Structure 1
Amino acid sequence: MRRGWSRRSKRRGRRVQGRRRRSAGGQAVDGASVRKGDGRTSAVDQALVPMSGGGCRRKVPERNPRVQQKRRASAGAAMAQGRHSNMNPLRIAHTMASLDSQASGPAYSVPALAKGQARLGAFVELHALGGSPNHAMEGLDDRRHRSDLVCWPVLSTLGVSRGMRVALRAGRFDILHTHGLWRMPNVYAAPGARLVMAPRGMLAPAALAFSAGRKRIFLALAQGAALRAADMFHATSEGEYDDIRRFGLRQPVAVIPNGVAVPPTQAVARGAEHGRTILSLGRIHPVKGLDTLLEAWARVEPDAPDWALHIVGPDEGGHASELAALQRRLGLQRVRIHPPVHGAARDARMAAADLFVLSSRSENFAMTVAESLAVGVPVISTKGAPWPGLEANRCGWWIDHGPESLARTLALAISLSDDERRAMGSRGRAWMEREFSWDRMAAMSLAAYAWLLGHGDRPDFVRVD
């Protein structure tokens, strides 16, 4: 009896000791305590250091302000290199609804950002719905999850995935960086991680106007709570920062643009002997303003016999048929609407264009503008996209949205010589090389994470106003 009682006492003592180590609402993780709810390590836990006997002892905190500042700077520098100050890799999870090759710009920009962070030493996982993992994503753990409820017509659009939710809860991440809104992968949580949300243009007024009723319902049921729980937002432009503030969200905002991969210089056949091409590439959706582009082109086409307009991208909601009907009504002869192209074929089509046009009503960044400039193609962009630098760097035009303004600018761009347009494209390529490398954007994101986790000073691109 005494032996059994002794064993029970030992087990009870171990349980009591465990409860003490999990005090103050914390949860034991590898001998440390992580505070539930907000994901922050408490000051008590930071003062605990391992002892050789397997227990913990209290470390007296350093009270000298200069020493504290020096330690914060050292920790921030370490985390900007993708690791904690104790040399452990920073653990980051990126989530998004889809990485389908036909999806919008984030299907390219999010993996590119994640790979840049991995190159800098962070441990990075990318979680998305559908498809197969891309093992070519160097240094990146690409996780794909099944979408549940696919047999339910309405619920299937929400992207419910038990597999993704479970994987995030089990991951022990420092940062959960979610991209996009209005689907379940954008509201799943990772306990203990700081939450960074990138709306990816989905808080712009024009974007909110589409399917507004469904978005209001989802906002009340799930998205609103996730937005309020965010520790920081990631905006890819000043315009998107304004959208976040206009929506009433007051958390810090890191304004970090997308990067772009600038390919090696190569000779591209452009000019009259091949036919001059105006390219619009992206989703064929009403928000892209392609109807305005056709109306503008109707005013220019009679005076531009050597030019043709090519619209390339995935059709959404049957909008391509609506554009084809508008083309017939306007009597346009040199307009072609193409299905999407991917990979090398997409790159070749962009590089062969003489002029790129973005007629969108709303864009948070517009990757196709950066990609066109990277291959030396001048750009016309409406002010629905955040590209005032086109004019400052003399590589394109940033204009008001509307058929009159767009027609005038198209006529001006067409009137230039081939050499003048090539010179504009060269200046655009140099601008992309100088300011938009993915390694630079990845380092900025890691610096923002470091500040959010309490290491280092606030970077000047993190806005708290």
Structure 2
Amino acid sequence: MKINHVITSIDISTGGPARSVTHLISEMLSLDSNIKIDLETLKSPEPILKTFNTPNGNVYFHDFEKLGLSKSLKNSLKKSEAHLLHGHGLWQMPVHQMAKMARERHIPYIITPRGMLEPWSLTQSPLKKKLALSLFQNKDLDHAACIHATAPMEVKSIRDLGFKNPIAMIPNGIDLKAFSDTIPNKSKTPKRILFLSRIHKKKGIENLIEAWTQLSAEVKQNWVIDIYGNGDTAYIEQLETLIKKSNLENQIQIKAPVFGEEKLKVFRAASLFVLPTFSENFGIVVAEALACYTPVITTKGAPWETLETHNCGNWIDIGVEPLVESLNKMLVKSPEALLELGINGRKLVEDQFSMNAVGKQMLVLYDWILNQGETPEFVKYEKK
């Protein structure tokens, strides 16, 4: 079985999707020595990886022209002997080129929207997205052999838009081999709240800053907030100005992004992870925080109800007031109580979100699409 994956970028600056895709492919290559996978992407300054270090996996970096179109990607897909194509993301030309070439060559394909069909995402640059939907995006999605969603709420969003394709509900996973299973020593002087993600307005960072201003000095005593990430320079400057105007420079700091071992150290040192997002199709950083024994507060813009059902954090409504309420409860907990939540979170990730389990499900999906055996239980099928 030969599969070609297509994603616009795997640059280290692009966040969760690049990590999810590269880790997923690596896991599938390790699970099945008979599968061959080519990852096709555009050139970028700092790709997460340049090779899979295995003979059955390749990475190809393509030049691109105006609007992100790539002649070399088109030629590669035209010559490919792939049995199945799998594209990640919407609105961008590489995945559209993949879908168009798949239809021309009668090759089945999967599209993973990566949260780009969520209601909040559709309200961003809505005119451009309506135009893209009418010109090519609806057709690309409608003709996909399957659409891959990472959570039940994303399945619902896709169905609400009228798409009747089979939908595979397979969560993103993380490679637990990279995450130590030893219980960490959390920072105590001061205790740290962590935000670590792409710095973007959809992440709700302003809500976190505003919520912090509403907490009493007693509750905030011996706590600081570390915001790690990269993003638009002008937006980061706006956040820094807001922090300064609120006289919080000694309590909230925006720091350069960290990667690899340094990122894991930051996760493990934090006593609490907060992602006050407006919209996530999954939120890989939530799983990463839990894998580091760190409890999480995130919003119902992310599909993490399991924080409540497995007692490893709070799943709250979007906005400042729910965040204030949650922080008031969390910050007064003892270090031992917070660590207990973190231990629960680690077990949740081990049970449900390991990359091994996710890779196995994706291989089952590929086999089902190509061989049409019994429909997997994680496929939501609705006939046209």
1:35-434, aligned counterparts within 5 Å?
Answer: 90-121=1-32, 122-131=35-44, 134-138=50-54, 139-149=56-66, 155=67, 159-188=68-97, 189-190=101-102, 191-262=105-176, 263-266=179-182, 268-272=184-188, 274-300=189-215, 302-303=217-218, 304-316=220-232, 318-332=234-248, 333-434=250-351
Q: 2:52 touches 2:59 (CA, 8 Å); kept in 1?
A: no
- Shift in alpha-carbon separation, 1:137–1:199, aligned structure 2, 3 A: farther
Out of 319-328 and 244-253, give the one that drifted further: 319-328
**Structure 2 counterpart of 1:193, one-letter code:** I
Out of 450-459 and 370-379, give the one that drifted further: 450-459
Q: Give the drift of 1:137.
A: 4.9
Matched with 1:12 is none
Q: Show structure 1 runs of 5+ residues with no match.
A: 1-89, 150-154
TM-score after normalising by structure 1: 0.76
Q: Give the drift of 1:459.
A: 0.7
3-state SS of 1:242 partner: helix
Q: Give the drift of 1:136.
A: 4.6
Alpha-carbon separation, structure 2, partners of 1:309 and 1:123:
44
Alpha-carbon separation, structure 2, partners of 1:321 and 1:301:
26
Q: 1:312 touches 1:339 (CA, 8 Å); kept in 2?
A: yes
Q: Give the drift of 1:454.
A: 3.2
Alpha-carbon separation, structure 1, partners of 2:268 and 2:371:
44
3-state SS of 1:341 partner: coil
Alpha-carbon separation, structure 1, partners of 2:166 and 2:195:
35
Count of residue pairs the alignment pairs up:
367
Alpha-carbon separation, structure 1, partners of 2:39 and 2:136:
22
* Superposed CA offset, 1:71-98 (max 9, x none): xxxxxxxxxxxxxxxxxxx111111111
3-state SS of 1:415 partner: coil
**Structure 1 counterpart of 2:110, one-letter code:** V
Please give the root-mean-square deviation of Cα atoms over the aligned residues, in Å. 1.6
**Structure 2 counterpart of 1:176, one-letter code:** L
Report the identity percentage.
Answer: 34
Q: Give the drift of 1:453.
A: 2.0
Alpha-carbon separation, structure 2, partners of 1:345 and 1:271:
15
Q: Give the drift of 1:391.
A: 1.0
- Shift in alpha-carbon separation, 1:316–1:301, aligned structure 2, 3 A: farther
Q: 2:141 touches 2:147 (CA, 8 Å); kept in 1?
A: no
TM-score after normalising by structure 2: 0.92
Alpha-carbon separation, structure 2, partners of 1:334 and 1:136:
41
* Superposed CA offset, 1:175-196 (max 9, x none): 1110000111111233242110
- Shift in alpha-carbon separation, 1:360–1:179, aligned structure 2, 3 A: same
Q: Give the drift of 1:233.
A: 0.2
